[in-house]
Amino acid sequence: MRACSLAGGGAARHYRDHSRNRKDHLVASYLRAVSLIGLLSLFANLAQTEAVASDDMPAIAYPDIPAAVADRVALVPPGWHIETEVTGDLNGDRRPDLALVLQSDIPDVSFQGAPMVGPRMLVVGFAARQGFRPVVSHHRLIPRSNNPYLEDVFDPESGSLAINNGRLEITLRFFLTAGGWDRFTKTFSFAWNRTGFELARFDYDYDHRRTGLTRHWIADYRAGTLIYSTGKSSSDAPVKSSKSKLRGRSGSPSRTSATGWSSIHSASNCIAGECTHSGCTEPARTMAIATAPGALS
């Protein structure tokens, strides 16, 4: 929702302040209404900035990953290569597990006809007695794009894939070189719960390059808390923060199916409190990466 221009500077400022406060209230209310494992992108213009929904891209056939491999090389299908990899204990057995982001050798093409980065797959393998046992083969979390003005959302050089304290972390950064002032970063922190990976924490950083407005959300699904902060990057004024409870039963989030994943991505295209399409009618309920390879492909 954007503030409308009104005659009279004082009235316009009052309206914008009221509109901004109302939007912040709607954002906080919407996040609190999300059940335990939720994924939200909160503004329609940010959803447009992403402009990378797989539904808008030409379909490709993602390869299957073997059920067991002797080494990491066997996880890489023909026509794909390892873009980045990290190791660390993800399931608590004190052995080094492996997380890979694979990239297709065939790039996507921008709407101008120029080659871009190829589609990606996230593959996770648990260390086994001989090699690795793949538990994740997923291609929807890291989005594709045909927008030449959108910088690559996944940057392995800046730690977009990491394993920290037993959690798998994926960071996506959205920045338009032309056509928008919004800039934001999403960090997903997944934890293994013996049956699958669940989203344990979601960080969302937003700033508007023209106005300097900053917003930051931290949703801790294990603790069931939401921290929301707002401020101005160009101001010495202190950052305003609030803490509230997320609805749902903390500590025992449920897993999701491919359908659940799709509904969450639909919810990310909603304006907080002002949904504009049928995908917004049901709040996103759960988010996880399934245990079976290809289950969410």
Query: What string of H, E and C letters represents the secondary structure of 212-259?
Result: CEEEEEEEECCCCEEEEEEEECCCCCCCEEEEEECCCCCCCCCCCCHH
Beta strand residue intervals within the chain, DSSP E: 80-88, 97-104, 120-127, 132-138, 161-164, 167-175, 182-192, 197-208, 213-220, 225-232, 240-245, 288-289
Q: Is 106 part of a structural domain of the chain?
A: no
Which distant-in-sequence residues (6+ apart) come within 8 Å of 188 by Cβ?
Answer: 39, 141, 169, 170, 171, 199, 201, 202
Q: Is 156 part of a structural domain of the chain?
A: yes
Give how many domains the chain has, as a whole number: 1
Does 72 have pLDDT greater than 50? Answer: yes
Q: Is 86 part of a structural domain of the chain?
A: no
Task: Name the percent of the chain lying above pLDDT 90.
Answer: 42
pTM higher than 0.85, yes or no? no
* pLDDT single digits (tens) 30-55: 444 433 333 333 333 333 334 444 44
User: DSSP letter string over 26-41?
Assistant: HHHHHHHHS-SS----
Does 231 have pLDDT greater than 70? Answer: yes
Alpha carbon distance 285, 257 (integer Å): 11
Q: Is 208 part of a structural domain of the chain?
A: yes
* pLDDT single digits (tens) 87-126: 999 999 999 999 999 999 999 999 888 999 999 999 999 9
> What sign does the CA torsion over 146, 266, 241, 164 have?
negative
Q: Is 99 part of a structural domain of the chain?
A: no
Domain limits at 247?
11-62+139-289
pLDDT of residue 247: 66
Residue type for 160, please? S
Confidence of residue 239 (pLDDT cuts 50, 70, 90): confident
Q: Is 118 part of a structural domain of the chain?
A: no
